[in-house]
A and B are shown apart, each in its own frame.
Chain A
Amino acid sequence: MTQRNKLPDIVFVGQPNAGKSTLFNAIAGYKAETSNFAGTTVEHTHSKVNFKGNLLNIIDLPGTYTLNPSGEAEKVALRHLFVEKPDLVVNVVDASILGRSLEMTLELIELDYPLVVALNMMDLAEKKGVEIDVEKLKKLLGVPVVPLIATRGRGIKELLDEVVSELGNKRSMLPVKLSKDVEDKVVELEGLIPPDFPVVANKRFTAIKMIETEKLVFNKMLMEINPSLKKNLDKIREELETQHNAPAYEVISAERHHLAFKIFEESCRVTRRKKVGWLERVDDIIMHPLLGYVILLGVFLAFFFVIFKVGNPLEELLLNPLHSLRDYLAFHMEKNLLFYLAEGLIQGIGGGVAIVLPYFIPLLFLMSLLEDVGYLARASFLMDTFMHRIGLHGNSVSPFILGFGCNVPAVISTRILGSRRDRIITSLLIPFVPCSARTTIILALVAFYLGPFWALGFYVFNILLLGAMGRILSFFYRQPSPGLILEIPSIKIPSLKNMAKKTMVQLKAFVKFAWPILIAGSIVLALMQHFQLDKYVNLILSPLVAKALGLPQELGVTLVFGFLRKELSLIMMLQALGVSYQDLMNAITYQQLIVFVVFISFFIPCLSTVAIIWKEIGRKVALLSVCLNTVVAVIISLAIRLILKL
């Protein structure tokens, strides 16, 4: 992934909410060659930057609280740090919570890579009454420290200046001095590490991490390659634990903690908070045990209202020329293979550009607004209670919200969840969230023919179903969920520029993944039509479609379309029945319409979603998802058919 004639790799590391991505975006701009997604940076993003003639390869890693891997996102960060050895590390620190943030800075100093500390959110620190003596901090840490305000682009030039000058300046860092007895143990273990041992960064860092990382895979490995070292390690750990009466990792963590707060106290002056700011007063209302829920409901309603108000006219605007193009081709071309290929292509592009994007762009933008303000974390807090009832917790809220736009990025964003169990359950539930493509069907069929209240009812039913499925799934995945541990960042005024950039980055990643699948799927469908395979498909599916669901047999082929592209089944339904949109009710009954919408909405997640679950979570879960959705769709459709018959 990096070129051979390598540019210097500059890695951005920091705790979640320290404003790494904002800083990264401020440096990189739109043209970044990027690869990240959904709310949190879960994969690293990189970008080439030319600063005063110095080409730098800047890499943004997912936020991590420590250099000890626990979550999925953190593992990505650490793998990069340890294996790919960057040329310089920029530690992005939230100045307003300097004490805690410095713990990771100390870990990075132990790592002994060239390091620059970016002291972000200086404005917030000032507001909180934290006065930081940057020179003193520099001296205490022994590394360059640059104060900045990333949201306003302040201090960025100075940071890059420092980065460039540090790159050429190969100096060793002063090791972080631990208290005597702990220090002795670290030195002892350091001496025991044989020269051929695969050290990370340096012997001291490796020794400290060995003491810290209990019960990790690493230990089993060590057991096999070097049993005597393992024995010594266990002895050292035991001695530490008896001396301090606490697990070894806590001893080390406490050391760093005390040191960090000592540095914090020596370099900062905390004046009393001047007064409660209006943002905090807003915060009190948002988090209010009762008003908070009213506001939450309001925010969500406004959220979807805006998305549809923006998306709907945009969709028509984009779809109309494509329709005209298609009609033009249909009129002027013979119905040969070429025509079908062209039609497939137009439909594929149309689906991606005109149906998904109009809803998806406002959704992403509003999501980044909610995230940047700090509301997403608060919504997760408020929703935690409800999520518990379905066996999950608040952290799963943002993947679900994203799912309303498109299930694909929603599945990717499950990486922010701590445990695999939560990821599996959330990913299995996401396909039950009506994405914009399915909403199109619901609006076009249910709202148009039966009225808006039916559509609303359908949505409510959908959400209840989601809850019921969650209950059932968590019954099978019994391992206890670790529960909610979520930092609530302080409320901030968002920057429009940053939101726009974030939206762009996420949009690009979506387009890159989903469009090829959409277009390929549409072409396959067009070919099926050309070779008139639809008849056979109808015949094969007839027992399900005609017998079980009581729908016209011709609708069989629309299910295949529905698998490739959900919203296509709408157009294909009209085509299969040979009627126009206005005349639809002459061809089928209301009961059939409802059964059809229900079935199409719930059966098999679309191809892109299955592909992303496969890629992200695994084959088994992807297959399970297909089966689960299909079974649920059949059962519910049958039930509705029976109920409506009465």
Chain B
Amino acid sequence: MINLTQAPCDKQLRIVDVQGGHGVRRRLLSLGFHKNHIIELDSRSILRGPILVRDLTSDTSVALGRGIAQKIMVEIVDATE
């Protein structure tokens, strides 16, 4: 289990857990960050900027600041699965 900032680009990731305070979790939930959703990191910006996440389950894109991205725990979906 790794957090989103450590995850590789262009690999499918499954959300395992969303940590953090109520407010943040609620907002992430309402944007579709549910457990077991499959997401993908779209691109990264230079200078340690925010992370662009594509949610493949609900087909949306959300930009997350690094602080928030650290709170989302994911695992890499095994390609052979």
Q: Which residues of A contact B (CB under 8 A)?
A: 65-66, 68, 70, 96-97, 99-100, 103, 128, 214-215, 247, 249-250, 253-254, 257, 261, 284, 287-290, 292-293, 377, 380-382, 384-385, 388, 393-394, 418, 480, 482-490
Q: Check B50 against A289 for contact (C-beta < 8 Å).
A: no
The answer, yes or no, to whether B79 is at the interface (CB within 8 Å) is no
Contact of B59 among A66, A97, A250, A480 (CB under 8 A): A97
- B59 — which chain A residues lie within 8 A by C-beta? 96-97, 99, 128
Q: Check A70 against B62 for contact (C-beta < 8 Å).
A: no
- Give the distance to chain A from B9, nearest Cβ to Cβ, in Å: 11
Q: Mark B40-81, 1 if CB is under 8 A from A, else 0.
A: 001111111110100001111111111110000000000000
Select from chain B the residue with minimum beta-carbon distance to A254: B34
Q: Check B49 against A384 for contact (C-beta < 8 Å).
A: yes
- B65 — which chain A residues lie within 8 A by C-beta? 384, 388, 393-394, 483-485
Q: Check B45 against A292 for contact (C-beta < 8 Å).
A: yes
- Give the distance to chain A from B68, nearest Cβ to Cβ, in Å: 5
Q: Check A385 against B48 for contact (C-beta < 8 Å).
A: yes
Q: List 21 A-B contacts (CB under 8 A).
A: A66-B30, A68-B30, A97-B59, A99-B59, A100-B32, A128-B59, A214-B22, A257-B29, A261-B57, A287-B43, A381-B50, A382-B49, A384-B45, A385-B49, A483-B65, A483-B68, A484-B50, A484-B63, A485-B27, A485-B63, A487-B60
The answer, yes or no, to whether B1 is at the interface (CB within 8 Å) is no
Q: Check B48 against A485 for contact (C-beta < 8 Å).
A: no
Q: Check A288 against B43 for contact (C-beta < 8 Å).
A: yes
- Give the distance to chain B from A96, nearest Cβ to Cβ, in Å: 7
- Give the distance to chain A from B18, nearest Cβ to Cβ, in Å: 9
Q: Which residues of B contact A (CB under 8 A)?
A: 22-32, 34-35, 42-50, 52, 57-68
Q: CA A385 – CA B42 in complex, angstroms?
A: 17
Q: Check A384 against B50 for contact (C-beta < 8 Å).
A: yes
- Give the distance to chain A from B40, nearest Cβ to Cβ, in Å: 13
Select from chain B the residue with minimum beta-carbon distance to A258: B34
Select from chain B the residue with minimum beta-carbon distance to A273: B59
Q: CA A214 – CA B25 in complex, angstroms?
A: 13
Contact status of A482 and B45, CB under 8 A, knowing A66-B30, A394-B50: no
- B61 — which chain A residues lie within 8 A by C-beta? 487-490
Q: Check A484 against B32 for contact (C-beta < 8 Å).
A: no
Q: Check B58 against A99 for contact (C-beta < 8 Å).
A: yes
- Give the distance to chain B from A98, nearest Cβ to Cβ, in Å: 9
Contact of A97 among B27, B49, B60, B66 (CB under 8 A): B60
Q: Check B26 against A249 for contact (C-beta < 8 Å).
A: yes
Contact of B42 among A214, A249, A250, A287 (CB under 8 A): A287
- Give the distance to chain A from B73, nearest Cβ to Cβ, in Å: 14
Contact of B31 among A99, A128, A487 (CB under 8 A): A487
Contact of A482 among B24, B30, B47, B49 (CB under 8 A): B24
- B28 — which chain A residues lie within 8 A by C-beta? 485
- Give the distance to chain A from B4, nearest Cβ to Cβ, in Å: 12
- B66 — which chain A residues lie within 8 A by C-beta? 483
- Give the distance to chain A from B59, nearest Cβ to Cβ, in Å: 5
- A287 — which chain B residues lie within 8 A by C-beta? 42-43, 52
- Give the distance to chain B from A26, nearest Cβ to Cβ, in Å: 24
Contact status of A488 and B25, CB under 8 A, knowing A254-B34, A381-B45: no
Contact of A484 among B26, B42, B43, B68 (CB under 8 A): B68
- B25 — which chain A residues lie within 8 A by C-beta? 247, 250
Select from chain B the residue with minimum beta-carbon distance to A381: B63
Contact of A70 among B26, B47, B60 (CB under 8 A): B26
Q: CA A381 – CA B63 in complex, angstroms?
A: 6
- A261 — which chain B residues lie within 8 A by C-beta? 57
- A381 — which chain B residues lie within 8 A by C-beta? 45, 49-50, 52, 63
Q: Check A488 against B30 for contact (C-beta < 8 Å).
A: no
- A394 — which chain B residues lie within 8 A by C-beta? 50, 63, 65
- B29 — which chain A residues lie within 8 A by C-beta? 249-250, 253, 257
